[in-house]
Amino acid sequence: MSAEQSGSSTAVETPASGVMERFSYDDRIVRQFILATLVWGFVALLLGVFIASQLADWRLNFGISWLTFGRMRPLHTNAAVFAFAGNGIFAGIYYSMQRLLKTRMYSDLLSKIHFWGWQAIIVSAAITLPLGFTIGKEYAELEWPISIAITVIWVVFAVNFFQTIFKRRERHIYVAIWFYIATVITVALLHIINTIQVPVSLWKSYPIYAGVQDALVQWWYGHNAVAFVLTTPFLGLMYYFLPKAAEKPVYSYRLSIIHFWSLVFIYIWAGPHHLLYTALPDWAQTLGMVFSIMLWAPSWGGMINGLLTLRGAWHRVRTEPILKFFVAGLTFYGMATFEGPLLSIKSVSGIAHYTDWIIAHVHGGTLGWNGFIIFAMVYWMVPRLWKTELYSVRLANVHFWTGFLGTLVYIISMWVAGITQGLMWRAVDGTGRLVYPDFLETVLKIVPLYYVRAIGGGLYLVGFVIMLYNIYKTVRSAPADLKDDVVSAPRLTRNTIENLGKTPHRMLEGLPVVFSVLTLVAVGVGTMIEIVPTFLAADYVEANPLLKPYTGLQLHGRDLYVREGCYLCHSQMIRPIPSETLRYGEYSRAQESMYDRPFQWGSKRTGPDLARVGGKYPDLWHYRHMMDPREVSPGSIMPAYPWMYRDKTDFAIIQKKLKVMKSLGVPYTEVEVRFAEQQAREEAKLIADQLVAQGAPKGTEEKEIIALIAYLQRMGQDFKKGLIQ
């Protein structure tokens, strides 16, 4: 292997520009990330179509635990965000940063560890999520061992990334790199703060935050995962690949800088718009709403800058699929970032929240913006990296139109479903009664749209498969020996850097370090102002001596609720909206979830809110409902949970759980912890005996369903008993 291929560079003295250095780019790693993007993209989309179909027809849950909606949905979102978009981002970053900085990556070894480490994390997610190992917080589901692995691999990437910047041969750092830096720093911050957990066992842990605090931290994280995984890196990629494809420089460099700082500063505050009308303190809701509305401006700054980059090249959009993907992608970005601020207005959120409107919004962003930018990038890079021509431009155009149509069908069907259901929920007649008191009626109304949505997703998947075929044929036509490109550039010396007194090395490090610190300050300020007061304020987390924490059995049942992903269809947060208190009872108070780790307020109501379901039905109702929801709620689309009637409760672990909870400040007594298992068994026996009296079969006291019922019947009871005001 020659020096160039192994990554080291050779120097040649030339009179004109000082020391010329020959080196090569590491394109192999880019090719690997592209292939991973394609593989995981297929998996993510297939899972998406699958769970969409499950909502259309419950039978597709097959009564198999690891295939049910509640376990598949986190797998779909994780695959889409971290596997498909994640690998796509890495491919684009590794390709563009080497060229923009005129250097090979700092370390081939670190690149390899990053690549294989990331794939290993994805595979472990694909195994553990279906098994029900989950933290129970959206987009942060992966249990603590995987969560730690993510941190380690991210640090590997960060070291490689910053060292590459430090050894660059181009003095100036292009704006795309700024966007990447913001991504690398902020994702680390978000991930670490949100997933601090205390382990109970290898695959079970509890967050250190509870209730309101957990909710705020989670949505601070959740919204910024959208910001710093699905937005900033993609804007960076857009700023590199769009000028490349259009063969024109970006429209306004100044605008790119202003929109960068505004975006990074504002985004971090916007999280609480996920928690409007909840038990989160009012000031935090207002803060989140105001900043979300402001986000509109920088987002459109980016979109306009992108679209205007095509000035004078619009005629090429007609024929070139890559430009088509860019234009449509930017337009979807503009649409989603207009819709987002709109949805953050409290009264709009009042209708839209918990409905499919939010699902429409998210998919406008992911299918339309992230997907299309990745497709554009892949079509652009593959022929160059495999040193050949794209197999078929025509097929790429077909891909574009099927993808575009699929996205539209998806979004429109979910808009209609969301707005329809939102309006039905709040319809109150002249006598002050709900027009649709039966929740299921509002579900059955939109089920046909779930079929339409599945068709939209299916179309998008078909387009993707067409791309897979096109790329496969392209790669097949590549020369057998793909050598890395060898290039040469002058080493940066004191002269080229034009700064007297400092060593070139110091100068190269100085700028990005200052920049990174400024970025950290920009995201840190919002974080501190938003999160710290919530941790200091006492009134909604004040210990209420009347409030007893969950019994061991209830706590275990709650963990089963988390395991099965019930929170993906059920909320536990009644908003202070008249139609809602009519339907579910008094609105939820912050104290009600003060022992909840993780909080389970939910974000989507495919089924009704459960915050006050305790005592609403006899145990037997739940027993029959969980076995087959259709038996008591004809037409229900809720999955059945037959395995909870077979699998035994792990009573032995309950003591450990109480111990960890106690260490986190939950007021369990020593006696309660010591006799946890015995108490739980007694409680289970009591419930099982009552069930038998109501007509259920004997011998269920050791089954998981009993623990789940114990939890369901506890929900909302503290309030009903007047322990909370």
Partner 1 sequence: MIQRVLASYHLQGLTCVGLLLFLTVFVAALGWVFRRGSGTFYGKLQELPLRDLETLNPGGR
The piece of 132-140, 155-163, 251-259, 588-596 that touches partner 1 (CB under 8 A) is 251-259
Q: Does 529 bind partner 1 (CB under 8 A)?
A: yes
The encoded tokens of residue 216 equal: 């705020």
SS3 content of the chain, % helix, strand, coil (to 5): 65, 5, 30
Segment contacting ligand HEC (CB under 6 A): 103-111, 140-148, 259-267, 605-613?
605-613
Shortest distance, position 283 Cβ to partner 1, whole Å: 5
Task: Give the whole-angstrom CA distance, residue 425 versus residue 13.
Answer: 76
| Least distance from ligand HEC to the Cβ atom of residue 639, Å | 6
Q: Cα(275)–Cα(601) distance, rounded to whole angstroms? A: 9
Stretch that binds ligand HEC, among 139-147, 155-163, 455-463, 637-645 (CB under 6 A): 637-645
- With CA atoms as reference, report the closest residue to 302 among 233, 376, 381, 371: 233
638 interacts with, out of ligand HEC, partner 1, none, CB within 5 to 8 A per kind: ligand HEC
Spatial separation of the C-alpha atoms in residues 712 and 725, rounded to whole Å: 21
Check binding of 443 to ligand HEC (CB under 6 A): yes
Both tokens assigned to 37: 């993007």
SS3 161: helix
State the nearest-atom distance from the C-beta of 258 to partner 1, in Å. 5
Binding partner selected for residue 607 from partner 1, ligand HEC, none, CB under the kind-specific 5 to 8 Å limit: ligand HEC
Smallest distance, ligand HEC to C-beta of residue 56, A: 11
Contact between 22 and 455 (Cβ < 8 Å): no
> Is 95 a binder of partner 1 (CB under 8 A)?
no
Instruction: Output the CA torsion sign for 574, 578, 582, 586.
Output: positive
Q: Nearest 10 degrees: CA dihedral of 207, 209, 213, 218?
A: -30
Nearer to partner 1, 175 or 226 (CB): 175
Of 678, 673, 672, 700, nearest to 687 (Cα)? 700
Nearer Cβ to ligand HEC (157/641): 641
**The tokens of 570 are what?**
């059920």
Under the binding rule (CB under 6 A), the answer on residue 256 touching ligand HEC is: no
Q: In which residue are the tokens 């710290």 written?
A: 532
Smallest separation, CB 132 to ligand HEC (Å): 10
Is residue 489 a contact residue for partner 1 (CB under 8 A)?
Answer: yes
Residue 564 binding partner per list ligand HEC, partner 1, none, with a CB distance cut-off of 5 to 8 Å that depends on partner kind: ligand HEC
Q: Please choose which of partner 1, ligand HEC, none residue 257 contacts, taking the beta carbon within 5 to 8 angstroms, the exact cut-off set by kind.
A: partner 1
* Smaller CB separation from partner 1, 388 or 690: 388
> Where does this chain touch ligand HEC (CB under 6 A) — which range of 120-128, 415-423, 523-531, 629-637?
629-637
CB of 262 within 8 A of CB of 249? no
Phi/psi for 675 (5° steps) reads -100, 25
Q: How far apart are alpha carbons 471 and 31 in whole angstroms?
A: 12
For residue 496, the tally of other CB atoms under 10 A from its CB is 14
Q: Of the two residues 113 and 290, which places its CB atom closer to partner 1 in the complex?
A: 290
Angle at alpha carbon of residue 423, lines to 364 and 617, rounded to 5°: 105
Q: Find all residues with CB under 8 Å of 42, minimum gap 6, and list them.
A: 461, 464, 465, 468
- CA 111 to chain centroid, in Å, comes to 24
712 binds ligand HEC (CB under 6 A): yes
User: Which residues, numbered 377-416, are part of the site for partner 1 (CB under 8 A)?
Assistant: 384, 387
Contacts of 539 (CB under 8 A, 6+ apart): none
DSSP for residue 197: E
For residue 142, give the DSSP letter: S
Q: How far is the CB of 441 from ligand HEC (least distance, A)?
A: 10
The one among 135, 181, 307, 613 contacting ligand HEC by CB under 6 A:
613
User: One-letter amino acid identity for 72?
Assistant: M
Q: Based on CB atoms, which residue is closest to ligand HEC, 461 or 574?
A: 574
Pick the binder of partner 1 from 113, 192, 412, 486 (CB under 8 A). 486
Q: What is the contact surface with ligand HEC in residues (CB under 6 A)?
A: 69-70, 439-440, 443, 561, 564, 566, 568-570, 606-608, 610, 613, 616, 629, 633, 636-639, 641, 708, 712
Q: What is the contact surface with partner 1 in residues (CB under 8 A)?
A: 4, 22, 96, 99-100, 102, 170, 172, 174-176, 239-240, 243-244, 247-250, 253-254, 257-258, 261-262, 265-266, 269, 282-283, 285-287, 289-291, 294, 345-347, 384, 387, 479, 483, 485-489, 522, 525-526, 529, 533
